[in-house]
Amino acid sequence: MVAPTAEPFGPGSAVVLFGLASAVAWGAGDFGGGWASRRAPVLGVSLLVQLLGVGLAGGLAILSRESIPETRSIAIAVAAGIVVVVGILGLYQGLAVGRMGVVAPVTGVIAATLPVVAGIAMAGPPATSVLVGIILALVAVVLVSRVQGEDGRPSGIEYGIVAGIGIGIFNILAGLLPDGQVFGPLFFVKIAATGVMVAIVVLGRSAWRVPRATLPIVLAVGVFDMCGNALYLLATQAGRLDVAATLSSLYPVTTILLAVALLGERVTRFHAVGIAAAVAAVVLIGAGSSGA
């Protein structure tokens, strides 16, 4: 499979489109995952999402006739699968025992900052408008992830740091995968992630069975997760790593908007400012990238 190029949208625009699309898919997946995790064990939900990803990635790799990834790409994909599980479990544990208003933004900022630093190190600093947009996006992640009413709980910041590092390294490793391949590398990412999850469930003898009534939501989460991963890989192949990672990190905006639309949750002042900052960030990054 050959990765789409930016020409139909103008130079540099494809990375913006794919990056934003990945944020929408990941945000929808997080919303569904949070809903399902209230009704089923977190480990069970995560395990089924990874298993579905194995099937989807493998099937799509065959249908798209992608070549088998080289040994180096497989090694990168396996490492990415391991670290992303570390990141996800760190995030879930932090949200469970700590303060969401600390854990979520710390995770989001670190996960976005690491690939930004890596992208600048590999490709040099971006255009000024893009750099300002990246900074605004990081501010947006903090504001949109802010949750109130958690006095008396430990901060859980250590889990947020672990989660951010794990997800951030995944974002960097994904950007190192070769152009022209998406589902083949994702197949090995999901295989590695599934192996780690199975080991945790077996060794920890943890509850994992998901009630039948929750399965449709979990399946939808798996589809959104796969879409987000594939779109993020396409974004890294279409443009700069720092731009792709920053735009995809705006997924909490999608989660908040879905919570407002479907659950009737209230948009706080912080959320409103964060959403406005995210819009401004997208405009600045899009304008700077279109001239690349």
Does a structural domain hold residue 2? Answer: no
Does a structural domain hold residue 3? Answer: no
Does a structural domain hold residue 7? Answer: no
Does a structural domain hold residue 85? Answer: yes
Does a structural domain hold residue 1? Answer: no
Name the amino acid, one letter, at 159. Y
Structure pTM? Answer: 0.88
Q: Quote the DSSP letter at residue 9.
A: G
pLDDT by residue for the chain (292 residues), tens digit each?
444 444 444 446 899 999 999 999 999 998 888 888 888 888 898 899 999 999 999 999 999 999 999 999 999 999 999 999 999 888 888 877 777 777 888 888 899 899 999 999 998 999 999 999 999 999 999 888 876 655 567 878 899 899 999 999 999 999 999 888 999 999 999 999 999 999 999 998 888 899 999 999 999 999 999 999 999 999 999 999 999 999 999 998 998 899 888 888 888 888 899 999 999 999 999 887 765 5
Domain of 186? 12-290
CA-closest candidate to residue 19, choices 134, 180, 166, 181: 134
Does a structural domain hold residue 4? Answer: no
Count of domains observed in the chain: 1
Distance, in Å, from the CA atom of 271 to the CA atom of 257, rounded to the nearest integer, reads 10
Does a structural domain hold residue 50? Answer: yes
Does a structural domain hold residue 241? Answer: yes
